[in-house]
Structure 1
Amino acid sequence: MTGLDLPLWTLGVAYLAGSFPTAYLVGKANGVDLRTVGSGNLGATNVFRTLGWKWGLLVYLVDGLKGLLPTALLPGIVGVEGGWPWGVALGVLAIVGHVKPIFLMGKGGGKGVATASGVFFALAPVAGASAMAAFAVTVALTRYVSLGSLIGAVVLPVAMMVQARAVTPLSIVGIVIAAFVFYTHRENIGRLMRGNERKIGGDKPAQAGGAA
């Protein structure tokens, strides 16, 4: 079977996997509706800042698996060969599911960083690992999860181009994803520039819609 023959149901599975509301469930397990605290966002960043690094790391890893598993496993399960564009399509659907989760009526998802990391770890392991390392180092040094996400988004396509010694179709996809990450983090970028972005371990988060 070629990439063009990938069954459409696999796209639905990828979307449903991405829709799994990790942060929402973790928040509820801790007696918190994360949609009403901090940034109000159901992503790893808000979990890091609201519930601490252990829960934040758990959410980041699970959200990463939401992108990695459909991208890495579904083509093989249905016998697709040489269909990396379909891997991208599956990954994009997983990211869309994370941002617009059906289990939450398409509202209150995350910003797609962790899920995108998982997607590209499946498609380009070296570049994906480089982006994750850049994220981890940035967060460790600055305690800004949002800044780590932005740095990781930049490192991803750069690492792909360095490894291939050329601009490849997949690296162009990486650039598009990086632009999407910057778009979803536009409010964080504004706060970083103003110096009022919250750090891990900072003050108690404000209610959703506040400065957190």
Structure 2
Amino acid sequence: MTGITWHPLAVGYILGSIPSAWLLCRIFYGIDIFEHGSRNMGATNVHRVLGTKPFAITLILDILKGFAAVLLSVSFFSAPETAVPIGLAAGAAAIAGHSLSVWVKFRGGKGVATGLGVFLALAPKASVTAMGIFLLVLVSSGFVSLGSIAAASALPFLILGFRECGEAWLSSFFGFSAVAALFIVYRHKANIVRLWNGEENALGSRKHETETPGATPAA
């Protein structure tokens, strides 16, 4: 593998794998987020367990991981003609790192916030529109998971519509966004089952207690 490929992959994974929620909860609140609420390292679970302030900090940090992975990799490891593939490689690695972090035994979040950071760097118009879809679904339904699934599913088509990467890399960009969307939807498979059964937790529900080991993680 050449330097033009493995360097952005390494940068993306290292930044993405920083366990923001776990570190925040461990250092400032003295808890292991994997032992509370839905036992998930995402911002939604931090909100459920600890409230709005740590949720906001976690969300911002997770978005910044994805954004920085793309920005740094494109700035240091690409020429103008390779900016898109370098950005895509770094972005994919960042999402993988967040979801399967080596620092916390290959556990992690579901990739939504870090994925948002990646696409804000690569396709800001499509990303902001996807955020609008997320908020619309969240406000109308009350479910973060449903908003995340809707936004992720819409993103590949927004990529095609806005064409921010240019025509030369459009098919690759669309393919990457489609795979990222499928990955995020897959990570929400348990949420989809709960939504179908009417058992999903709405935004604002709090679960301070540790769930029974082996329970299915929520959002």
Mark yes or no: TM-score above 0.5.
yes
TM-score class, shorter: 0.7 to 0.9
Alpha-carbon spacing, 1:17–1:117, altered in 2? closer, same or farther (3 Å): same
- Hey, what's the Cα distance between the residues in 2 that align with 1:211 and 1:62? 22
Q: CA deviation at 1:69?
A: 0.9
The 5 Å alignment of 1:37-186 reads: 37-83=36-82, 84-106=84-106, 108-164=107-163, 168-186=171-189
The TM-score with structure 1 as length reference comes to: 0.87
Q: CA deviation at 1:137?
A: 3.1
Q: CA deviation at 1:77?
A: 2.1
SS across alignment from 1:207: coil
Gaps of 5+ in 1: none
Deviations 1:21-58 (A, max 9, x none): 11112222223321012221101121122222332232
- Hey, what's the Cα distance between the residues in 1 that align with 2:55 and 2:192? 20
SS across alignment from 1:168: helix
Identity of aligned residues (%): 36
- Hey, what's the Cα distance between the residues in 2 that align with 1:25 and 1:74? 24
**Alignment partner, residue 26 of structure 1:** 24
One-letter amino acid of the counterpart of residue 196, structure 2: M
Alpha-carbon spacing, 1:141–1:98, altered in 2? closer, same or farther (3 Å): same
Alpha-carbon spacing, 1:9–1:139, altered in 2? closer, same or farther (3 Å): same
SS across alignment from 2:81: coil
User: Is 1:150–1:181's contact at 8 Å kept on the other side of the alignment?
Assistant: yes
Gaps of 5+ in 2: none
User: Is 1:11–1:90's contact at 8 Å kept on the other side of the alignment?
Assistant: yes
Say which is worse superposed, 112-121 or 46-55, in terms of deviation: 46-55
One-letter amino acid of the counterpart of residue 183, structure 2: F
- Hey, what's the Cα distance between the residues in 2 that align with 1:53 and 1:152? 22
- Hey, what's the Cα distance between the residues in 1 that align with 2:78 and 2:175? 26
Q: CA deviation at 1:5?
A: 5.6
Alpha-carbon spacing, 1:172–1:11, altered in 2? closer, same or farther (3 Å): closer
Deviations 1:40-93 (A, max 9, x none): 110112112222233223212211111111112222123522221121111111
User: Is 1:5–1:80's contact at 8 Å kept on the other side of the alignment?
Assistant: no
User: Is 1:52–1:200's contact at 8 Å kept on the other side of the alignment?
Assistant: no
Runs of 4 or more above 4 Å deviation? none
SS across alignment from 1:150: helix
1:195 paired to 2:194 = no
Say which is worse superposed, 62-71 or 7-16, in terms of deviation: 7-16
- Hey, what's the Cα distance between the residues in 2 that align with 1:78 and 1:85? 11
